[in-house]
Structure 1
Amino acid sequence: MSSSGRNKKALPTGPLPLFGVEIEIYVKIHKDLEEKIRDRRYRDIHSMPMYWLEWDFDLQNGQGNLEKKAKQRECVGKAVREIIDVTLGANHGWTCESDASLKEWALTEPPDVRKWWGIEIISPPMSVTKHWQEEIELIFQAVGRHFDFWTNECCACHVHVSPGPTKKVKYTTPQLVRMAKGAFFWEEAFKELLPPERRNNRYALANHMVFASSELGTVELRRQAGVASAMTAIHRILFALTLHVSAFRYDFDGVKTRKTRPDAAELIRELAGCIKKLPGDTCHGSRFINFLYWCQESYAGNKCYSEKQINIREKALREGKTPPKQTPGPAPPPMNAAPAAGQRATTSTTSLPLRTTQTVRTSQPGAPARTGTMGRGGGGGGGNNSRTSNTRGPVIVSPPLPSRRSDAPRAVVTSVSGNRTIYEVRQPPERY
């Protein structure tokens, strides 16, 4: 064998998917850089890029008309793209766009709250055979030298995956069927590894964790929360890649008669085996598996971290430090579950059996206790069907019935599927 043949690196084997990542994030220019640009605009205006000249450093994200704020986001996106261009050179494929859907005006937690702007950083299709992790780290390091980062529950990290190893290879129909089976089979286990606010996010296509894009031949994982560090972005990508590998290799026929759904521990074991199928020199697995165990422990029992806690952790990861020990708290109640005045209700948007009872506690003294059933049409067991409860413990009544009063809460059936009825208690609109 020739020397060139002996020294030639063996091609990786196993699944070689392509992926792309979309990172929704808030950025704020560093104070010292802002001062330098302000000063330079007076002394050396002709050598400055247009986006720095058009940047309105006095514009607040909660003020100004839509046109001014749209122009500001455009300047932010151009500045970030220029930073990436300088860092990676020509033809890198990364881009950055403004993202008004992040609603900067609603921010309350970050420092200098009115200085943040929402953007979306979008990668090109990337191969698992390349050193993609280092490239993502370079992006965060370069942009982070000019901007601060912030993430909250409005942000997400979307990951597209295709079979690879080239962009021409798309999912076949049988492969998409396997992806759909994986989405259904691992759904509940997957949600255990997500923050509570992402488990039933309406922007994440209800209870489906992936969906197919026929135009691009990709499957997109939309359920994961936002990121503000390269490390967390890498873990989100590996989550999507290992779920892709799992769907291709898992024996779904062998679990047809299974009576239980897998839990998070079983999913972690499955993904630990899947990551070993990806190239080991580019998809380092040990840190990823530790991340999954951290998610399992952190979000158990609907625990969650506050917005400030999340960003403290992300900042530590960006700086290469060990994140501080944090104590998660209970998940906040859904916004649409706020009780009406004088009533403390435990109802929310919940899946219920076809006929069931719903607990409602009233704070009005002397209020009668009633019990009733919830039928397919959403009607309760009040009126002539109600009866006094002789049982001890919490008062059990039917869900609040629609009232002729326009200011009363209403129980509204949102969907019916098989033997399950989903409804929610809706509060009347506020009057001014």
Structure 2
Amino acid sequence: MALSFGVEIELLVCPRGTPSLSPLAPASASSLQTMRPSKHEPKTDNMPEIPRYWRVELVSRVLSTTTDWQNELQAVFEVLHDECKVRLTTGCSMHVHVSPYDGRYTAGQLQKICKALCYFDNAITKVMPAERKDNPWATSNKLKRAYTLVPAHSWAYIFKLLDKTTPKHVHGMLSGGWRWRSRYCSWNFENVTEACGTIEFRRPPGADSPDSSIHWAAFTLGFVARALATDWAPYASLKTVGSVADLERFILGGISTLGPTMNGALGWRIVEDTSPPTVLTAEELGAIERKKKNKDRVKSPFVEKVSGKCWARIWQGR
């Protein structure tokens, strides 16, 4: 099995004695391209400003599990840290876009991924740091009413619903319904029918090192690979949700199918983060909702890059 993917990584950077970020994208390490420094903006999200630091978003080219993608990320971060001081805040995140290597997702493949993300929704939430557990930029996809039926009635009903999933309808089904559908979900299906054809995993925290960026890329790739390889029929009769230990085995199983370029990529164990979810104020939530309306006018940077609409865009906090 092989998968194509791309990453978006949000950071704050302070150049080391240079007024330009252009050295961060040399020909020898051009997998990721940095944004130019953003102009001053009113503070409209929960990410604090840091004096002398610029908000940027690193946006990769299309990578694949058939090439040495880990070395590409290593090279980019080496240049980044040579040229800049790097910081993260709780407003930073990393997004991973994944698609089949040799084409688009079929309805059957999407159905399998949907079953996996529903079954492991609780476990994925548990392994996230506090600021990503209940985050309005990456909310849970689970079908809330149907989910409450699992302890008494098993997964059969939800899986029956998900068996009706098609590329055209999956985004509406997994993001709050047709009327309220949104890209701001843990797993965003908005682009499966677009040119890039990806599913976007929006839940990971910001990454300020090659190890952390590679870890979350491997987490996502392993999850998708294992979801596609799993026969979900035996799970339909279960009345429990996947545990964190189950999730780790699941992801490791997927990684093992993706070949030698995945060796060592996960880096560290998948364990529960027991910190409570970050609670945002009403003012912060209101500001985020206003910012979402502005951001809805454009696609994500990776999607725009793949479609040729842009190669770099100022990060406005997501």
Hey, what's the Cα distance between the residues in 2 that align with 1:291 and 1:28?
A: 31
Q: Does 1:259 align with 2:205?
A: no
Hey, what's the Cα distance between the residues in 1 that align with 2:239 and 2:39?
A: 41
Question: How do residues 9-408 of structure 1 correspond to structure 2 at under 5 angstroms?
Answer: 15-30=1-16, 33-34=17-18, 52=19, 79-88=20-29, 92=30, 94-98=32-36, 113-165=50-102, 169-207=103-141, 208-212=185-189, 213=191, 214-215=193-194, 216-280=196-260, 282-285=261-264, 288=266, 290-293=268-271, 296=272, 299-300=273-274, 303=275, 332-336=278-282
Q: CA separation of 1:93/1:333 partners in 2, compared to 1, >3 Å: closer, same or farther?
A: closer
Does the residue aligned with 2:13 lie in a helix, a strand or coil? strand
Query: Which position in structure 1 is the counterpart of 2:149?
Result: none
TM-score by length of 1: 0.50
Post-superposition shift, 1:332?
Answer: 5.0
Q: CA separation of 1:99/1:155 partners in 2, compared to 1, >3 Å: closer, same or farther?
A: farther
Hey, what's the Cα distance between the residues in 2 that align with 1:221 and 1:278?
A: 18
Hey, what's the Cα distance between the residues in 2 that align with 1:102 and 1:192?
A: 35
More strand by share: 1
Post-superposition shift, 1:251?
Answer: 2.2
Query: Which position in structure 2 is the counterpart of 1:350?
Result: none
CA contact (8 A) 2:8 2:60 kept: yes
Query: Which position in structure 1 is the counterpart of 2:169?
Result: none
CA contact (8 A) 1:209 1:221 kept: yes
Hey, what's the Cα distance between the residues in 2 that align with 1:17 and 1:101?
A: 36
Letter of the 2:83 partner, please give it.
Answer: H
1:231-267 alpha-carbon deviations (Å, 9 max, x no partner)? 0000010011011112101221111111111111111
Letter of the 1:210 partner, please give it.
Answer: W
Letter of the 1:191 partner, please give it.
Answer: T
Q: CA separation of 1:159/1:117 partners in 2, compared to 1, >3 Å: closer, same or farther?
A: same
Hey, what's the Cα distance between the residues in 1 that align with 2:40 and 2:199?
A: 23
Hey, what's the Cα distance between the residues in 1 that align with 2:40 and 2:188?
A: 22
Post-superposition shift, 1:84?
Answer: 1.6
Post-superposition shift, 1:289?
Answer: 5.9
Q: CA separation of 1:27/1:180 partners in 2, compared to 1, >3 Å: closer, same or farther?
A: same
Structure 2's unaligned 5+ residue stretches are 142-184, 284-318
Hey, what's the Cα distance between the residues in 2 that align with 1:332 and 1:222?
A: 17
Post-superposition shift, 1:96?
Answer: 2.3
CA contact (8 A) 1:104 1:116 kept: no
Letter of the 1:240 partner, please give it.
Answer: T
TM-score by length of 2: 0.67
Hey, what's the Cα distance between the residues in 2 that align with 1:218 and 1:290?
A: 26
Hey, what's the Cα distance between the residues in 2 that align with 1:99 and 1:258?
A: 50
Does the residue aligned with 1:179 lie in a helix, a strand or coil? helix
Hey, what's the Cα distance between the residues in 1 that align with 2:75 and 2:65?
A: 17
Does the residue aligned with 2:123 lie in a helix, a strand or coil? helix
Alignment coverage as a number of residue pairs: 236
Query: Which position in structure 2 is the counterpart of 1:355?
Result: none
Alignment root-mean-square deviation, CA: 2.7
Post-superposition shift, 1:279?
Answer: 1.2
Hey, what's the Cα distance between the residues in 1 that align with 2:282 and 2:136?
A: 13
> Which structure has the greater CA radius of gyration?
1
CA contact (8 A) 2:186 2:203 kept: yes
Q: CA separation of 1:202/1:275 partners in 2, compared to 1, >3 Å: closer, same or farther?
A: same
Letter of the 2:186 partner, please give it.
Answer: M
Does the residue aligned with 2:228 lie in a helix, a strand or coil? helix
Hey, what's the Cα distance between the residues in 2 that align with 1:231 and 1:289?
A: 7
Letter of the 1:87 partner, please give it.
Answer: S
Does the residue aligned with 1:137 lie in a helix, a strand or coil? helix
Q: CA separation of 1:93/1:233 partners in 2, compared to 1, >3 Å: closer, same or farther?
A: closer
Query: Which position in structure 2 is the counterpart of 1:362?
Result: none
Post-superposition shift, 1:123?
Answer: 0.5
Post-superposition shift, 1:173?
Answer: 1.8
Q: CA separation of 1:221/1:156 partners in 2, compared to 1, >3 Å: closer, same or farther?
A: same
Structure 1's unaligned 5+ residue stretches are 1-14, 35-51, 53-78, 304-329, 338-432
Post-superposition shift, 1:95?
Answer: 2.3
